[in-house]
Structure formats: structure tokens, C-alpha cells
Amino acid sequence: MTEPLDLGDDKSLLLVDDDEAFLRRLAKAMEKRGFEVETAESVAAGKAIATARPPAYAVVDLRLEDGNGLDVVEVLRAKRPESRIVVLTGYGAIATAVAAVKIGATDYLAKPADATDVTNALLAGGDTLPPPPENPMSADRVRWEHIQRVYELCDRNVSETARRLSMHRRTLQRILAKRSPR
């Protein structure tokens, strides 16, 4: 068994993610690590909790069904400036990482991130960076995730997605027909 983490006097943690299964798994794993977890599945619910009971720690998904998770980060920063906030997203991009950090996120993690990655990011000291993830996404997986994201943003229109990716439509169809790489 690992030794208990030093979370300080306030162990409150807010998890905001619209993926219900992921949210439940992460909440359970973070409770095992000693956090007092509260969850929200929307921007509205996250903002309500951040306003009523601003936590010491927060993990906020960037893209939620009812808006942008950065709105929750802004409320948290206003209510509790010292809280440690990690922005989590399935669509890692430099521009959104910069935006998240500018408005007050402590760190930024791309999904799939596990509870250890999240804990390391939440507890990393001021200028020290958390260690790199044990199992980062492969280059093939990153490419596949990017194609899937553009495909979804184009309302699952293969021709439009192929045009935006500067890719032949048939090539894209073959990629979309395959399973995701590991």
C-alpha cells in the first residue's frame, strides 16, 4: 500500500466531466487517494458548486455538453484564487492549453489520463513539472484522435472532413472504418 498523500487540511476536490463512466471511475480513484470528492456533469452544475463550496482542488473537462469548462475555471479562480485546477480534455491543443493556464489552471492534461496523472498534476509544486505519463498516447493514436475530432466537428460529414484535413475522401473512409490504435 502506498503512503497517504499530503493534501493539506482541505481535501475538497471538484470533478467536472460529462462522461459519466469516466467521472465515476475517477471519483472513486481520487477518494481512495484521500480526496473529498464532489462531481458535476455540466458547466452549470460545476459553476454552482464552485460558487457555493469552492474546493481546494478541481479537475475540469474542457468540452462539456452545455459549454466550455474554462467558464468553471474562471468562477473557481474568482471564488478561491489559491485552488489547484487541472484542465482535462480529449482534444489536446496548444491554443487551449495556453488559454487554460492564462485564466488560472495549474496544469493541463490530455485524455486518456488516469488518476495517477491527475494526482501528480494537482500536487505538483510551484515550478516543478509533474513526471511525464507512464503510458502516453502513441503518435498513431494522437493522429486518430485528431481525425475523429475534426470528423465530429464537421457533423460526421466525410467529404467536408477530408477537405479540411487535405486528405482524399476514400483514404479518410478507410481510416474511419478501422478501430482506434492503442
Give the tens place of pLDDT for each residue, 30-76. 999 989 999 999 999 999 999 999 999 999 988 888 888 889 999 99
| Mean predicted confidence (pLDDT) in 137-149 | 79
Question: What is the spatial distance between Cα 134 and Cα 116, in angstroms, rounded to a whole number?
Answer: 9
Q: Which CATH number fits domain 139-177: 1.10.287.3510, 1.10.10.60, 1.10.1840.10, 3.30.420.40?
A: 1.10.10.60
Give per-residue pLDDT as tens, 4-19.
Answer: 566 778 889 999 998 8
Question: What is the spatial distance between Cα 166 and Cα 154, in angstroms, rounded to a whole number?
Answer: 14
pTM for the structure as a whole: 0.69
Angle at 17 (CA atoms; ends 14, 18), nearest 5 degrees: 145
The backbone torsions φ and ψ at residue 114, rounded to the nearest 5 degrees and listed phi first, read -100, 180
Please tell me the class of the 12-123 domain.
alpha beta
CB 13 within 8 A of CB 38: yes
Give just the sign of the alpha carbon dihedral 114, 25, 65, 86: negative
Question: What is the spatial distance between Cα 63 and Cα 36, in angstroms, rounded to a whole number?
Answer: 24
Sheet holding 12-16: strands in order across?
A: 36-40, 12-16, 57-61, 84-89, 107-110
Q: For the chain, where do the domains classified as CATH 3.40.50.2300 start and end?
A: 12-123
Give per-residue pLDDT as tens, 72-122.
Answer: 999 999 999 999 999 887 766 666 777 788 888 888 887 778 888 888 888
> Which residues lie below 8 Å from residue 62, measured CB to CB, with a gap of 6+?
68, 69, 70, 87, 88, 89, 91, 96, 100
Q: For the chain, where do the domains classified as CATH 1.10.10.60 start and end?
A: 139-177
